[in-house]
Amino acid sequence: MTETHISDFMSIQKTRYGKCLEPKMECGNDAIRAHSVQNATALKLIEESNHVYEIGMKVVAGKPEPSLDLIGRKKASTFLGLCANHDASIFKAIDTKPLSPDDIEQLFLVAYRSVTRELHTVLEGAMRVQLGYQMLVSKGKVSADKPSAPGMEAMQHMMKAWSVWKYRYKFFDPIFESKKYSQIKHSVFKFEGEQPCLAASSFFSVDLKPWGKPFAALILNIIPSGPTETTVIFSYAGAHSGRARKYTAPVMTQKGEGRKYELSYMLINRAENFFLSPRIVDAWSGKKKETVVNACIQSVFGSQPKRVSDLMLF
């Protein structure tokens, strides 16, 4: 697939929906449930009785209702973004050998998986909203010829999907082909001496620009990497170093508990697709659970949660 206009992009995606999102976007195979966080190693280190916690979001009577939900480890972090062949071949270097913070191919692939998961998430969102809009149009509840709230919403989701695809197309796909992995930059550190309790594979814009315009992104992976070790990786395109470093500064300039708190706050404030060990969540008070869940919903609606001590996730 080559650089394309948004309308062409969306019509191509409509015919390819559910298909593999490999780098060239040409594979005709159906996508399978692939893990964005390594299931066998990383999630196994935080599970209890084969389960982990995630922040779930349900819509009840038109209002979003967040909750802390236990989900099976096999299902956690999965996305329908790649076919079995591409999932295995693209990520071979991270799925078949232990993660090394000095291996730039591995660091690139960890980030590439997060970007690909995000691409799948936003495409799925765009398709779903578009379908809802078309249904309203076909029932005569909304005019296709006049601006309407559902029409605008469908357009915004499309712009987001198109933006994320253009981001991967410009900054990640060429590196996958050329293997010039050093063009993606990383800040890597570890928490050592404690049992891992959190895993994440997240992608977010650090610009707060409207979708459709070029943006700088940050990719955050938190990977339980040993019985008493968690590896944290921030990744970004070299062209976005300045903005990404500014965004990660509150975490990078802290040490110890302060660093864990800043990372927790960033996760709650910006990210999704993070998973918590039942070992720690079950020990939280009801008030703390409520504070964390409410802060997540606040950030979904664009406001910054208050910096209270209960937002510490580690």
Binding residues (CB under 5 A) for Zn ion: these are: 20, 22, 27, 29, 83, 86
CB of residue 28 to Zn ion, shortest distance in Å: 8
Residue 92 or 213: the one with the smaller Cβ distance to Zn ion is 92
| CA neighbor of 295 nearest in space, from 250, 260, 265 | 265
Residue 20 or 110: the one with the smaller Cβ distance to Zn ion is 20
Residue 16 or 289: the one with the smaller Cβ distance to Zn ion is 16
Provide the b/e sequence for 98-127 (b: ≥16 CB within 10 Å).
ebeeebbebbbbbbbbbbbbbbbbbbbebb
Helix (H) or strand (E) holding 161: helix 149-167
CB of residue 67 to Zn ion, shortest distance in Å: 34
Does residue 100 come out as left (phi exceeding 0), alpha (psi in the -120 to 50 range) or beta? beta
CB of residue 21 to Zn ion, shortest distance in Å: 8
Alpha helices by DSSP H, listed for 168-306, are 173-178, 241-252, 256-270, 278-281, 286-300
CB of residue 70 to Zn ion, shortest distance in Å: 32
CB of residue 92 to Zn ion, shortest distance in Å: 14
In the Cβ-directed half-sphere of 291, how many Cα atoms lie within 13 Å? 16
CB of residue 124 to Zn ion, shortest distance in Å: 17
CB of residue 93 to Zn ion, shortest distance in Å: 17
Residue 29 or 143: the one with the smaller Cβ distance to Zn ion is 29
- Write the CB contacts of 308 (distance below 8 Å, at least 6 apart in sequence): 291
CB of residue 87 to Zn ion, shortest distance in Å: 8
Residue 23 or 151: the one with the smaller Cβ distance to Zn ion is 23
| CA neighbor of 289 nearest in space, from 73, 80, 70 | 70
Residue 57 or 84: the one with the smaller Cβ distance to Zn ion is 84
Residue 22 or 272: the one with the smaller Cβ distance to Zn ion is 22
DSSP helix/strand/coil, 131: helix
Cα 184 from Cα 240, distance rounded (Å): 10
Cα 223 from Cα 191, distance rounded (Å): 10
Residue 47 or 87: the one with the smaller Cβ distance to Zn ion is 87
Q: Are 52 and 70 in contact (CB under 8 A)?
A: yes
- Write the CB contacts of 169 (distance below 8 Å, at least 6 apart in sequence): 1, 3
